Amino acid sequence: MRAPCAAPAGAFAASAHLTDKYMSPNDSNPLRHPRGLPAFDRIHPEHVVPAIEALLEEARAAVECAAVVESPTWQNLVEPMEEALERLGRSWGVVAHLNSVMNSPELREAYNAVLPKVSAFYASLGQDDRLHQRYKAMREGPEWTRLTAPRRKILDNELRDFRLGGAELPADQKARFAAIQEELASLSAKFEENLLDATNDFGWFTEDVARLSGLPEDVISAARAAAERDGKPGFKVTLHAPSYLPVMQYADDRALRAEIYRAYATRASEFGKPDWDNTDLIRRIVGLRHEEAQLLGFGNYAEVSLEPKMAESPVQVTGFLRDLAARAKPYGERDMAELSEFAVESLGIDALEAWDVAYAAEKLRVARYAFSDQEVKQYFPEPKVLEGLFGVIEGLYGLFVMPDSAPVWHPDVRFYKLTDRDGTLVGQFYLDLYARPSKRGGAWMDDAISRRRAGAGIQTPVTYLTCNFSGPVDGKPALFTHDEVITLFHEFGHGLHHLLTQIEDLGVSGIHGVEWDAVELPSQFMENFCWEWGVLQGMTAHVETGEPLPRALYDKMVAARNFQSGMMTLRQIEFALFDMQLHGEAPGRSAMEILREIRAEVAVVHPPEFNRFPNNFSHIFAGGYAAGYYSYKWAEVLSADAYAAFEEAGGLNAEVGQRFWREILAVGGSRPAIESFKAFRGREPSLEPLLRHNGMTGQA
């Protein structure tokens, strides 16, 4: 039954948003009434379909009410819509999150059963000309003058999104546009499922520990435990990052490296099971995106993608990337020449193959700087790393992280709260650090609850922080490489962007409404503190002796910080240019053909012909970065320049931290990101700090 349109504005809002700690305990379906923290201890796959379908019906009723408002205002149009859509978004977000971190056949089936319905609803929302006209009436009428700056930004964003959502299309084209959106959602989900299945399916077994020569002891112990879980003797190597990456970096057995590399590089391709081949999915996704762009009147999908971003055009983006490539390539060529020479002279490898690069690089790093990643790793046990991270948050913002309690989706997951000096709750977060077969790869942050004014109070934000690190082994705490510590700080930067907002309107609160190519600014900014001596002193303790990181070893790490930075920069530019080119031209050429062209232009490391990188490039085919992967480098310019303000102040500085909070984190998406940056720095961003941080300011 649809709710009556006579319901007062905000009728869906209830004090339960603020007072109930968990979703309604009186409903047998814990997804049906999203209030407070999700009841992960009670959510099961069978709850998904009925809950989401009921919330969809409720959201449709809110749309119908809003669509007949005669004199639209914020209170009678936006607030009721926001409330109903947040309820749907909250529960659907829980389902999508569980599908990523606790994937199972039953959950996958339930997720895929309602995904087309959710996609169709949001597509229809963006095309509803009745709503579109009412938002336009607010923009053009007296209501506009009464709105705060954040609400004006929300309204402008909504009008832009109506245009990009097909609201201005004729009826027949609207139907086609909606069908495209629904199919794209299903194809992206299938892409991710294929990649997860292909990753989980592989296992390399041996009973000969000599084949694992060179691997760290904790990696060998994890391989033994993996084989035991499969009921087999010996050791198991997988394609999950905590297993795959150490093999590439440390395994002395070149044949093993080659075999594992090939398995990883051909995941979800024609070299594996046909049902898991993403090749046709890529072709279909790119084709549908191009058709969508043409329906909207754009030349290509890259132009559509850039509409809500900081960058003005694909030409501007490719110009930025090619300029950076030109600056980085001499350094990348030098890095590759040094590595090849070292491989010949010291390792007896005459022709450096893709499966040799990480191995040779680690050997060269040890030879040049007299330390290894594994040596450093012993100083980063998980408890000490978290203590150090939380100390940085306290030092920058005067906030405190403390353990909290809530239902979780896996025993390894922990829950924390963030408070100010008076004990006032600022936000909460879940921390899921370890890799497991039911979890998709990578590291990410996602919002669980967003800050907004609800009823008489403020709804405090909650976020998910997810990584894929190795867990504890043999009774010892988990040990993190320095790169993993950087990843953890990166994701916390995203989390703080969401948790520290001061905006009370949902559409621009936290990460909402932030331009996609600026959203990496707070995350990349946080990475810099992983290199500060004062920070590392407080977050390191040798797993055996408890001694902090020695200054001599730290000095070696700093000296090696820009080791092969030219190669790494070119690698990111390669991916970004491929993404932009793929979405910036009419379909016809294969993804591999375009990638080969880009590699010929900018790469110094050329993978073998069988490499099928596009088939596992989930960032752009399943992760929201389509024609937006350049954002990492774009935002790195902003983050490096932002951190330079702390360098100028002598490092971890509370006064500068408060200014960063006030001008960047607190404002969320309530104003253009470039305005926030200039408010913090007092000027336009400069490329020079990024080049300096990457050691690319002198002669190659």
pLDDT of residue 700: 60
β partners of residue 476: 473
pLDDT tens, position by position, 117-131: 999 999 999 999 999
DSSP per position, 417-463: EEE-TT--EEEEEEEEEE--TTS-SS-EEEEEE--EEETTEEEPPEE
In the chain, what's the furthest Cα-to-Cα distance? 81
pLDDT of residue 27: 61
Average pLDDT of the chain to the nearest whole number: 93
Q: How many residues does the chain have?
A: 700
To the query of whether residue 491 is one of the catalytic residues in this protein, the response is: yes
β partners of residue 195: none
Asked whether the predicted pLDDT for residue 1 surpasses 50, the reply is: no
Asked whether the predicted pLDDT for residue 11 surpasses 60, the reply is: no
CATH of 382-564+632-693, one of 1.20.120.450, 1.10.1050.10, 1.10.1370.40, 3.30.420.240: 1.10.1370.40
β partners of residue 465: 431, 445
β partners of residue 445: 465
pLDDT tens, position by position, 69-83: 999 999 999 999 999
Q: Are 445 and 491 in contact (CB under 8 A)?
A: yes
pLDDT bracket for residue 349 (50, 70, 90): very high
pLDDT of residue 5: 61
Average pLDDT over residues 289-301: 98
pLDDT of residue 8: 34
CATH of 16-168, one of 2.60.40.1220, 3.40.50.2300, 1.10.1370.40, 3.90.1150.10: 1.10.1370.40
β partners of residue 432: 466
Q: Are 502 and 466 in contact (CB under 8 A)?
A: no
pLDDT of residue 20: 36
Asked whether the predicted pLDDT for residue 17 surpasses 80, the reply is: no
pLDDT tens, position by position, 350-374: 999 999 999 999 999 999 999 899 9
Q: Could you tell me where the DSSP H helices lie in 549-668?
A: 551-559, 565-583, 591-602, 618-621, 631-648, 654-660
Average pLDDT over residues 336-361: 97
SS (H, E, C) 492-545: HHHHHHHHCCCCCCHHHCCCCCCCCCCCCHHHHHHHHHHHCHHHHHCCCCCCCC
Asked whether the predicted pLDDT for residue 333 surpasses 80, the reply is: yes
pLDDT tens, position by position, 476-506: 999 999 999 999 999 999 999 999 999 999 9
pLDDT of residue 34: 87
pLDDT tens, position by position, 517-550: 899 999 999 999 999 999 999 999 999 999 999 9
Non-local CB neighbours of 458 within 8 Å, separated by 6+ positions: 18, 451, 452, 504
For residue 78, give both structure tokens. Answer: 């936006």
pLDDT of residue 454: 84
Q: Are 445 and 477 in contact (CB under 8 A)?
A: no
Identify which of 203, 201, 227, 196 has the alpha carbon closest to the alpha carbon of residue 101. 196
Q: What is the pTM of this model?
A: 0.87
Average pLDDT over residues 638-649: 95
pLDDT bracket for residue 9 (50, 70, 90): very low
pLDDT of residue 699: 64
Residues of the chain with CATH 1.10.1370.40: 16-168, 382-564+632-693
Tell me 211's DSSP state. Answer: G
Taking the C-alpha atoms of residue 234 and residue 74, their distance in angstroms, rounded to an integer, is: 65
Other beta carbons within 10 Å of 201: 14
pLDDT bracket for residue 28 (50, 70, 90): confident
Identify which of 506, 507, 513, 514 has the alpha carbon closest to the alpha carbon of residue 452. 506
pLDDT of residue 49: 97
Instruction: Using alpha carbons, list the distances in angstroms from residue 117 to 47, 122, 181, 583.
Output: 16, 9, 11, 27
pLDDT tens, position by position, 438-484: 999 999 999 999 999 987 899 999 999 999 999 998 899 999 999 99
pLDDT of residue 495: 98
Q: Are 492 and 444 in contact (CB under 8 A)?
A: no
Average pLDDT over residues 37-42: 96
| Residue 431 phi, psi dihedral angles, 5° rounding | -125, 115
pLDDT tens, position by position, 608-633: 999 999 999 999 999 889 999 999 99
pLDDT tens, position by position, 263-279: 999 999 999 999 999 99
Tell me 651's DSSP state. Answer: S
pLDDT bracket for residue 6 (50, 70, 90): very low
Of 143, 491, 515, 574, the catalytic one is 491
Query: What is the rounded end-to-end Cα distance, in angstroms, of the chain?
Result: 70
Taking the C-alpha atoms of residue 390 and residue 647, their distance in angstroms, rounded to an integer, is: 20
pLDDT of residue 124: 93
Taking the C-alpha atoms of residue 260 and residue 204, their distance in angstroms, rounded to an integer, is: 8
